[in-house]
């Protein structure tokens, strides 16, 4: 399209931003106005290639609004493309509308849910890596606000993108100099921003963000760069196009009333309401996917000493041919999570993200958005560092698997800093999440397969130490299930355990049996969803449930069981980590926290 066409489209887009935000009575008018030429020039100036009628087409260029508060611009741009009736822009921020205050998947052109700043570039890294893995030619563009450049997660993304030489990744910083409550850190100093970004290995291009010819020239130049990602640093004016608010503080998150909106629209005239933007078509390509093959059977013997974390690592290798879209991500702990052998076996399906958990979770979101199945393995404790990214990922609705090893005090001498003790609580809060907690190698491999077959966010909690194999390889496991190890008509109590505490529960049951006290033992390997029917039956028949977990009580298994039992929750006794943990032998720490076999026996005896 000609420059004159793009100017008309920019004017139309500005008008629609004003109309939609005024109709909504809220929104981010000024942040949207500053990026208009950047997005108009990208989408309709020839740089962006996509089938607008098929946003899911694999080789479409991708556009991520990391500055998600500029959603009125996103919606108005797609209205300009003819993908959305302009009349529907009046539904911005209204209940039930896909045009939410920040981009969500209900709007079919949303690449990933954004709005919590600092995450979009990491998602873009994941999408650019997906292009490499799938042998596709699409480019990934990420619109960033200059305010979010203060977020550490952005710089995690910057360094890993340069490390992988992602030359199909283009960042666009809207350098308007104003944040929500005042000036941004660097203001309009584009040179300093360029030096900082460039020092991470990116090609930087400084441009006047309101000059369409220069904006399009920047996109053309970005396409010619090889071997490194590109960051376009665009000097802009916040609120550009509305003289009343241009470059002024105090207007972030504020909109024009009807009188001021009418004046602003008059200032924009003439407004061509009929012109539509033309988006270039993408190259016709489908992603490369390895041939699917059947997995070999697992082989373990009862009593074999195997660490569940090692069994999960082995399962990923064994199951990789059956799940050809599987890719494994590592936070530079692959020799502890036992995913290093996956890297050796499938190097092109392994991504080393180094010690940058926030960015790795964002990368997983980007990979999943492009149809891959990301599995990110790290210490359970370190995943808590990326809770905000997980919180946003839950809204994507995509399938992502997280493996948390070194769970609980049972890890021993490493001490409290390495102990995952909040991870169950964290993942329980995520909508539609699944939490699985194997107790031995067989359940670890079987539940890994269930995790890969699952939907949305799945968390697999893994014990560090070697534990004896309890199950036969033919044992069946299901999401939402459990396994009852001991049961009789005379059970005095039910011990509910998972992971390492199942072994302690079985030891306790043996001790109690010698005292002529029968107890039921349930392996609650599926913590979310729970096997509510089995738990309720146990509550009715044995009158008391003792839930034993290597996790803090807040948000853990005990609370999950109480919640599931409802009116019968009073029969639940919780044995959990209640003291401040420290270094020691695993058995010492289990005893110290009163979650070992001896503590279970004492608890049962005190209640019978």
CA–CA dist 345, 184 (Å, integer): 46
Compute the C-alpha angle 173/279/73, nearest 5°.
45
Report yes or no: 454 and 401 within 8 Å, Cβ to Cβ. Answer: yes
CA 242, CA 151: separation in Å to the nearest integer?
29
Using a 10 angstrom Cβ sphere, with 0-12 exposed, 13-18 middle and 19 or more buried, the burial of residue 567 is exposed
Q: List strands edge to edge, sheet with 434-436.
A: 350-352, 326-330, 373-379, 400-405, 457-461, 434-436, 526-528
Q: Is 584 left (phi over 0), alpha (psi -120 to 50) or beta?
A: left
3-state DSSP call for residue 524? coil
Q: Cis bond leading into 290, ω under 30°?
A: no
The residues, ordered by sequence, that sit 6+ positions from 38 with a Cβ below 8 Å of its Cβ are: 143, 172, 174, 209, 215, 232, 234, 236
Annotated catalytic residue within 100, 111, 156, 357: 357
Q: How far apart are the first and last CA of the chain?
A: 82
Helix (H) or strand (E) holding 434: strand 434-436
Specify whether 340 is catalytic.
no
Q: What is the CA radius of gyration of the chain?
A: 27
Q: What are 342's strand-pairing partners?
A: none
The answer to whether the Cα torsion of 212, 214, 217, 221 is positive or negative is negative
User: Beta strand 169-175 with 140-145: parallel, antiparallel or unpaired?
Assistant: parallel
C-alpha torsion sign, points 39, 193, 152, 328 = positive
CB contact at 8 A, 139 and 170: yes
Q: Which residues contact 171 (CB under 8 A, 6 or more apart)?
A: 121, 124, 141, 142, 144, 197, 202, 229, 230, 231, 232
The three-point CA angle 99-101-107 to 5° equals: 30
Q: What does the alpha-carbon distance between residue 305 and residue 303 come to, in Å, rounded to a whole number?
A: 6
Task: For residue 112, count CB atoms less than 10 angstroms from its CB and return exposed for 0-12, middle for 13-18, buried for 19 or more.
Answer: buried
**Catalytic residue IDs:** 357
């Amino acid at each position: 399209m000609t420059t004159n066409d793009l100017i008309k489209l920019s004017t139309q887009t500005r008008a629609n931003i004003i109309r939609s935000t005024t109709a909504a009575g809220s929104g981010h008018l000024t942040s949207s106005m500053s990026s208009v030429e950047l997005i108009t020039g990208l989408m309709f100036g020839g740089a962006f290639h996509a089938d607008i009628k098929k946003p899911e087409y694999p080789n479409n260029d991708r556009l991520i609004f990391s500055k998600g508060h500029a959603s009125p611009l996103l919606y108005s741009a797609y209205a300009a493309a003819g993908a959305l009736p302009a009349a529907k822009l009046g539904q911005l921020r209204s209940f039930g509308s896909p045009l939410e205050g920040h981009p969500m998947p209900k709007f079919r052109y949303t690449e990933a849910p954004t709005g919590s700043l600092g995450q979009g570039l990491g998602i873009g890294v994941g999408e650019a890596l997906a292009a490499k893995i799938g042998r596709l030619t699409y480019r990934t563009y990420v619109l960033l606000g200059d305010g979010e450049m203060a977020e550490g997660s952005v710089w995690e993304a910057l360094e890993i993108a340069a490390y992988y030489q992602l030359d199909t990744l283009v960042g666009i910083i809207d350098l308007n100099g104003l944040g929500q409550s005042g000036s941004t850190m660097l203001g309009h100093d584009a040179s300093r921003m360029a030096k900082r970004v460039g020092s991470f290995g990116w090609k930087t291009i400084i441009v006047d963000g309101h000059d369409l010819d220069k904006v399009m020239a920047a996109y053309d130049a970005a396409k010619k760069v090889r071997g490194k990602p590109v960051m376009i640093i665009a000097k802009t004016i916040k609120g550009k196009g509305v003289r009343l608010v241009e470059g002024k503080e105090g207007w972030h998150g504020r909109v024009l009333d009807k009188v001021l909106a009418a004046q602003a629209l008059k200032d924009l005239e003439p407004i061509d309401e009929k012109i539509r933007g033309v988006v270039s078509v993408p190259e016709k390509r489908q992603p490369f996917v390895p041939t699917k093959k059947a997995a070999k059977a697992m082989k373990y013997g009862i009593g074999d000493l195997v660490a569940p974390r090692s069994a999960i690592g082995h399962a990923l290798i064994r199951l990789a041919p059956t799940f050809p879209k599987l890719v494994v991500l590592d936070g530079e702990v692959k020799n502890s999570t036992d995913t290093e052998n996956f890297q050796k076996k499938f190097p092109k399906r392994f991504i080393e993200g180094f010690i940058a958990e926030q960015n790795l979770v964002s990368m997983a979101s980007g990979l999943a958005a492009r149809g891959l199945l990301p599995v990110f393995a790290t210490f359970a404790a370190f995943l808590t560092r990326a809770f905000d990214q997980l919180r946003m990922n839950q809204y994507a609705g995509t399938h992502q698997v997280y493996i948390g090893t070194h769970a609980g005090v049972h890890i021993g001498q490493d001490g409290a800093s390495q102990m995952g003790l909040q991870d169950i609580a964290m993942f329980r809060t995520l909508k539609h999440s699944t939490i699985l907690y194997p107790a031995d190698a067989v359940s670890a491999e079987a539940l890994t397969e269930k995790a890969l077959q699952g939907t949305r966010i799945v968390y697999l909690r893994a014990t560090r130490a070697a534990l004896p194999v309890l199950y036969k390889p033919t044992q069946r496991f299901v999401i939402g299930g459990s396994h009852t190890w001991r049961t009789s008509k005379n059970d005095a109590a039910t011990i509910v355990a998972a992971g390492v505490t199942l072994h302690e529960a079985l030891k306790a049951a043996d001790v109690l049996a010698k005292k002529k006290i029968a107890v039921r033992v349930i392996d609650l390997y599926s913590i979310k969803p729970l096997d509510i029917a089995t738990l309720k039956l146990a509550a009715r028949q044995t009158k008391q449930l003792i839930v034993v977990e290597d996790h803090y009580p807040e948000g853990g298994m005990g609370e999950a069981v109480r919640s599931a039992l409802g009116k019968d929750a009073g029969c639940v006794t919780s044995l959990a980590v209640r003291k401040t943990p420290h270094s020691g032998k695993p058995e010492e720490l289990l005893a110290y926290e009163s979650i070992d076999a001896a503590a279970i026996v004492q608890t049962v005896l005190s209640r019978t």
